[in-house]
């Protein structure tokens, strides 16, 4: 099957002419093999669920290795992977290749329009400033829907800032769970496209209210890059106190909502998705705590630090929650080459 997986884990308006010159970004100060934060513990009746807090973006030149995770995994009865939304198009490999041209056209603005035609002038001027900084003379992106253009800009800015959106936790956790024979479960809300090619064609022609997503992404690049770098370093060395002090901006939720408000999402009754995904994860967590003496899970660290996140909901149901100790930033950091 061809799978599209959407994770549920991703200000003031500044006019383009008011932007200050971009300061030279300092090199990311951590590199090499780093542990990330310790594990959160959820327990009741002698049974424990240990949770890894994952983060993106992370330092580009780091390798994640946690002995605590390795030891916990070897005695776990189950691993809960990241929760999210899974869209399944049962078309097979060759059918997926046939869908590719349609998918590429779906990211274009309908009626052969450009970003300049669909965005407010002041917002478009901000885009031009950031585009020149991170994308250069890329012309094709001017024909993309605001959501997809903004994501292209965000990816380029992350790369140029010494960061990476390829968080190492989930792939390494999958590899180690398979090695030790620990079953994995992915609490995901699943939607199957019965006629995926027709659905993509309809999406390509339908309007998408994604201006707010576009603006939030620009807001984040204008105001939050320094914090992203600080969060990445704090996460890499296990500095929980540092993470708590840095606000978590998330343009991804606004962009996801634009997709969920689309005509295609309405046809497949994709409503209350964040709440439904959260309920699925909580049920899976409680099942793991009931069925296994020890289990392991991975969640976005923003969920673990939120006062009304998943951990708070488990605590309200009578589970004991313990946060890991915060390591001093200098204890694991190494200077770059």
- Judged by DSSP in three states, 107 sits in coil
Q: What is the pLDDT of residue 103?
A: 55
Q: What is the pLDDT of residue 240?
A: 93
Task: Average pLDDT across each block of 10 residues of the chain; the chain has 337 residues. List them in order.
Answer: 34 30 42 82 97 91 85 95 77 44 69 94 97 92 92 92 87 92 91 73 79 93 90 91 85 83 76 87 96 96 91 95 80 37
Q: What is the pLDDT of residue 1?
A: 33
Query: Can you give the pTM of this predicted structure?
Result: 0.80
**Alpha-carbon torsion 236, 240, 242, 248, what sign?**
positive
Q: What is the pLDDT of residue 337?
A: 32
Q: Burial of 292 by CB count in 10 Å (0-12 exposed, 13-18 middle, 19+ buried)?
A: middle
- Nearest to 33, CA basis, from 70, 76, 73: 70
Q: What is the pLDDT of residue 61?
A: 80
Q: What is the pLDDT of residue 96?
A: 44
Q: What is the pLDDT of residue 66?
A: 83
How many CB atoms are located within 10 Å of the residue 27 CB? 13
Q: What is the pLDDT of residue 247?
A: 78
- Nearest to 336, CA basis, from 231, 226, 236, 242: 236
Q: What is the pLDDT of residue 260?
A: 80
Q: What is the DSSP letter of 220?
A: H
Question: Which ranges of the chain would DSSP assign to H, the alpha helix?
Answer: 67-74, 92-106, 115-118, 121-134, 146-160, 169-180, 196-205, 211-223, 225-237, 240-245, 251-260, 263-267, 273-291, 301-305, 310-316
CA distances from 9 to 33, 278, 306, 309 (A): 25, 11, 12, 12
State how far the Cα of 253 lies from the Cα of 323, in Å rounded to an integer.
Answer: 25
Q: What is the pLDDT of residue 97?
A: 41
State how far the Cα of 122 lies from the Cα of 129, in Å rounded to an integer.
Answer: 11
């Amino acid at each position: 099957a061809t799978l599209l997986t959407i994770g549920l884990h991703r200000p003031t308006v500044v006019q383009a002419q008011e932007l200050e010159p971009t300061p030279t970004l300092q090199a990311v100060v951590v590199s090499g093999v780093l542990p990330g934060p310790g594990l959160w513990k959820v327990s009741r009746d002698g049974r424990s669920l240990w949770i890894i807090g994952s983060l993106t973006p992370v330092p580009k030149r780091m390798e994640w290795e946690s002995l605590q995770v390795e030891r916990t995994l070897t005695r776990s009865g189950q691993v809960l992977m990241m929760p999210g939304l899974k869209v399944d198009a049962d078309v097979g490999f060759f059918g997926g290749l046939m869908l590719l041209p349609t998918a590429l056209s779906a990211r274009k603005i309908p009626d052969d329009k450009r970003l300049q035609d669909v965005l407010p002038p002041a917002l478009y001027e901000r885009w031009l400033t950031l585009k020149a900084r991170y994308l250069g003379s890329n012309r094709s992106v001017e024909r993309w829907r605001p959501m997809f253009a903004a994501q292209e800009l965000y990816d380029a800015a992350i790369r140029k800032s010494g960061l990476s959106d390829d968080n190492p936790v989930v792939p390494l956790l999958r590899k180690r769970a398979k090695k030790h024979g620990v079953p994995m479960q992915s609490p995901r809300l699943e939607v199957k496209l019965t006629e995926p090619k027709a659905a993509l064609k309809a999406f390509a022609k339908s309007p998408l209210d994604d201006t707010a997503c576009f603006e939030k992404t620009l807001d984040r690049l204008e105001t939050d890059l320094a914090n992203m770098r600080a969060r990445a370093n704090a996460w890499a060395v296990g500095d929980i106190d540092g993470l708590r002090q840095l606000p978590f901006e998330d343009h991804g939720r606004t962009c996801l909502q634009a997709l969920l408000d689309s005509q295609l999402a309405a046809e497949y009754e994709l409503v209350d998705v964040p709440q439904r995904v959260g309920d699925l994860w909580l049920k899976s967590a409680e099942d793991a705590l009931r069925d296994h003496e020890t289990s392991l899970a991975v969640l976005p660290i923003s969920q673990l630090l939120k006062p009304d996140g998943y951990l708070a909901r488990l605590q309200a149901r009578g589970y004991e929650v313990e946060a890991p100790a915060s390591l001093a930033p200098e204890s694991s950091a190494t200077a770059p080459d």
